[in-house]
Structure 1
Amino acid sequence: MNGMVPFRFLHAADLHLDSRFTGLSHIPGPVRDYLREAAFAALGRLVAVALEEEVDFVVISGDVYDSADSSLQSQLRFHEALLELSNNGIAAFLIHGNHDPLDGPRLDMELPDGVTVFGADMQRQATAVRRADGREVAIVSGISYPTAKVTDNLSLRFRRKEGSGLFHIALLHANVDGDPAHETYSPCTRRDLIDSGFDYWALGHIHKRRILHERPYIVYPGNIQGRSVKETGTKGCCIVDVDDSGIAALRFKELDEVRFLIRDIPIEGMARETDWIEAVERAVEDIREEHPKLMSVVRFRITGRSAVHRILAEKGVPEDLLDELRRREALRAGQGRFHGLVWIEGFSLESGTELDRERLLAEDSFLGEMARLAAGSAADGSTLEELVRTALAPLGENRELRRLLAEAGEDEMRVWLKRAAETAVTLLSDALEPDEETGGMPGGRQGGR
């Protein structure tokens, strides 16, 4: 492809306009309103980045809306964004995914100039041009979902346009190589995409930013705005520069207005509950300093071992502190100070009682055997899944619980196992305290906790 015309484009996916933030409770009105506006704010930043970077065109790889029955507001706001791009000479190419399939009810609005929405077949390919001089730079292809559930391998329908020396871009909403954390819609393999002859696969559906391959680039940009603590870290889009030899280079641009975080608060060395409270308050201020221009939503994981664990476990991790910290942040929100606001989603108690873990693992006892089983399962994904599925099998009769189990990822199952093991160790350790009269260990167990 020597002698190509250099150009630049923006790749985004999974806008999920109108998305409901999950896992959040006791949210005051101003905070709820700010969260509801976050995806639209990220869309506004996307347009601003396209203008600042002087991209020649934008590609959006599915799930513009969060549901097939998208709201009037989300449709009008997205149309407004497309119009702003169009008025600045920036073309847009987009597809629909499983959340916003073509059969969903929508307003019949005339698309702005330069906007291409691909249908459910491969009969249409579009040519992208460079804004500066109108020279042709790329062939863009895409397939939208006709309905919410597409289980065919759509990647096999893509065909490179014969005889064209232009850069070829494919828009696809798909689960590549069977990511277990997402529905297996339009399943395909990396090899399918590599062998296609396309130069850049602009993917959507997976909300975590990933580069699966280079030359050709196979890219998930992730969603533009996180929606829960399952979607932590920076969210945004990719800026792609293609040089005169057809080689692409990527840069990531942040777009999110609200950042979801998981932070650990270790309790080693803590003897009093006040030590833990001070650590939590310091962590909140640290996050505020790290992200002064964002609202942060954080889940604190309590980790490590100390006497404080027993206090927190018995109290169910103090709800009073959570209420007080939320009250302080609500006051900030009431004053319109959302940048730097730190909303605590909750606490996850993953700590344990003080014990000699190495000694416990070496013990010839019930506790030792249980500890070894938990440690081995946590290290082996297949063993972990089998143990969790077997233990929770009786819950499978409930449809909602069955759905939650099916969606659980390996990291989440490790947390379940760790909590179960710590709870068992705590309860059994209490039962196996030294006998006050004899100083021995009841039940025939030898050794300390």
Structure 2
Amino acid sequence: MFSFIHCADLHLDSPLRGLSKKEDAPVDEIRLATRRALENLVDLAVKEGVDFVLIAGDVYDGDWQDYSTGLFFNSCMARLRERGIPVYLIRGNHDAASNITRRLVLPDNVTEFPVDRPATVTIEDLRVAIHGQGYKEREVWTNLAAGYPDPVPGYFNIGLLHTSLEGAEGHERYAPARAEELVQKGYDYWALGHIHKRQVVRENPYIVFPGNIQGRHVRETGEKGCTLVKVDGSAVSVEHRPLDVLRWQVCSVDLTDAETIGDFAGRVEEALSALAAENPGYPLAVRVELFGRTPLYRTILQDRDRFFHEIVNAGQMMNADIWIEKVKFHTEPPEERGRAASGKDALSAFRRNIDGEPDEGLIREFLRDVKAVQAKLGAYIRREDATRVETEEDLEPLLQDAREYIFALLTKGGRP
């Protein structure tokens, strides 16, 4: 019987986006999160007494800012060496050979697979054969797995591969391969990396993405960690183990029929409390999404800053470490337009006009203008939390907010 840890996508020293500029943000937790997660991995390996560790690419997030990144990784590997635990790793798209200009000699318990060809490393006393190949360039569009060698007879064969398989949302389709192709290789376990969400693709043989070890932004929500694998003869078991030190979550708050600020605050606090209870002991970076038809709609529209800080206040009032990353406003007005639309005054006439069918020609012209602005904004609009407009359907919620904002100004008789 033997055991090993399969991890991937450490992205060491990668920044946690969206929090670092907040006044109340946990600066140290943010800055050191990926390092603490790696330390947790080493602690787990030592505690479990695993026989080896596999890293399926992207140890680093790109070229080092300075040598401290490489020094820290090597210090963690040295801790494993002290316990007699070897490490086998491949390079991924972020730490491809062409990306990293600074270099440090790895501790002698770390084996890095070549980037120009597949190779096999055997662990004789365990009868284990590990097959792998790293990335020479950041973009690898060929099927690397197709060139992996045949399994070694009588050994437990592991494929170490950084791949998107057949593609995944938010990830480039690097080193593409089909799960059926991996099965046909005849290996006993496939240790994959690149996809940051944990996924057991197949169970016989196991084909596993462990996910990354630390969430870095709001698209990487929930528990993050590694996979602990135990092998007893022909029986293979896998178990997810958490390593993260700060978690990203999305909190949806239903404001349907909420009439007062007190109603609003109560529902927000209830939702945040439930989230904290699901993640005991973990600091949380939370994106709050408000939805539902509510009489507060226009009030929220006029003073979103106030409602944002009411949410921050609710988080601070709780006995938990919660930081609000952003608030997304998706509320809608209550069904009360009939009275305004049926009146004979100028305001009612205006309401009827803005609620009527839009001029399709103007909409198409406006869409072209919006796309032109997006093109000029470039990288700013490509952020993971940016709102993009590609179709007329994408415009509708923005136009709806604009209609209600104008109507709220007119009914209040002043600036918001």
**Residue in 2 that maps onto 1:105:** 101
1:165 matched to 2:154? The reply is yes
Note the 1:36-185 alignment, pairs <5 A: 36-69=31-64, 71-103=66-98, 104-109=100-105, 111-122=106-117, 124-128=119-123, 135-162=125-152, 164-185=153-174
Return the match for 1:16 from 6, 11, 21: 11
Note the 1:300-379 alignment, pairs <5 A: 300-318=288-306, 321=309, 325=313, 328=316, 340-355=320-335
Secondary structure of the equivalent of 2:185? coil
**Residue in 1 that maps onto 2:221:** 232
> In 2, distance between residues paired with 1:419 and 1:48?
47
> In 1, distance between residues paired with 2:29 and 2:407?
51
**Residue in 2 that maps onto 1:294:** 282
**Alpha-carbon deviation of 1:311?**
1.3
Alignment-mate amino acid for residue 206 of structure 1:
I
Q: Which runs of 5+ in 1 are unaligned?
A: 1-5, 130-134, 333-338, 358-364, 371-388, 434-449
**Alpha-carbon deviation of 1:408?**
8.7
Q: 1:227 to 1:198 in 2, by over 3 A?
A: same
Secondary structure of the equivalent of 2:230? strand
Secondary structure of the equivalent of 1:141? strand
Secondary structure of the equivalent of 1:350? strand
TM-score, with structure 2 as normaliser: 0.81
Secondary structure of the equivalent of 1:126? strand
> In 2, distance between residues paired with 1:281 and 1:399?
36
Alignment-mate amino acid for residue 108 of structure 1:
L
> In 2, distance between residues paired with 1:322 and 1:368?
35
**Alpha-carbon deviation of 1:142?**
1.2
Return the match for 1:200 from 176, 189, 199: 189
Superposed CA deviations along residues 330-389 of structure 1, whole A, max 9, x for unmatched, are xx9xxxxxx9411110111112111399xxxxxxx997989xxxxxxxxxxxxxxxxxx9
Alignment-mate amino acid for residue 241 of structure 1:
K
**Residue in 1 that maps onto 2:29:** 34
Tell me if the contact between 1:353 and 1:426 (Cα under 8 Å) persists in the aligned partners.
Answer: no
> In 2, distance between residues paired with 1:323 and 1:267?
13
Q: CA RMSD in A?
A: 3.5
Tell me if the contact between 2:9 and 2:212 (Cα under 8 Å) persists in the aligned partners.
Answer: yes
Tell me if the contact between 2:272 and 2:315 (Cα under 8 Å) persists in the aligned partners.
Answer: no
**Residue in 2 that maps onto 1:400:** 378
Q: 1:398 to 1:80 in 2, by over 3 A?
A: same
Alignment-mate amino acid for residue 194 of structure 2:
H
Secondary structure of the equivalent of 2:191? strand
Q: Which runs of 5+ in 2 are unaligned?
A: 338-352, 359-366, 409-416
> In 2, distance between residues paired with 1:205 and 1:319?
38
**Alpha-carbon deviation of 1:287?**
3.6
**Residue in 1 that maps onto 2:364:** none
> In 2, distance between residues paired with 1:416 and 1:208?
29
> In 1, distance between residues paired with 2:385 and 2:167?
15
> In 2, distance between residues paired with 1:45 and 1:194?
32
> In 1, distance between residues paired with 2:156 and 2:3?
12
Superposed CA deviations along residues 70-112 of structure 1, whole A, max 9, x for unmatched, are 5322211111111111111111100111111123123332x33
Note the 1:202-221 alignment, pairs <5 A: 202-221=191-210
**Residue in 1 that maps onto 2:237:** 249
**Alpha-carbon deviation of 1:240?**
0.9
TM-score, with structure 1 as normaliser: 0.76
Secondary structure of the equivalent of 2:32? helix
> In 1, distance between residues paired with 2:186 and 2:278?
43
> In 2, distance between residues paired with 1:429 and 1:161?
65
**Alpha-carbon deviation of 1:401?**
5.5
Tell me if the contact between 2:193 and 2:210 (Cα under 8 Å) persists in the aligned partners.
Answer: yes
> In 1, distance between residues paired with 2:111 and 2:314?
45
**Alpha-carbon deviation of 1:113?**
3.5
Tell me if the contact between 2:92 and 2:138 (Cα under 8 Å) persists in the aligned partners.
Answer: yes
Alignment-mate amino acid for residue 164 of structure 2:
N
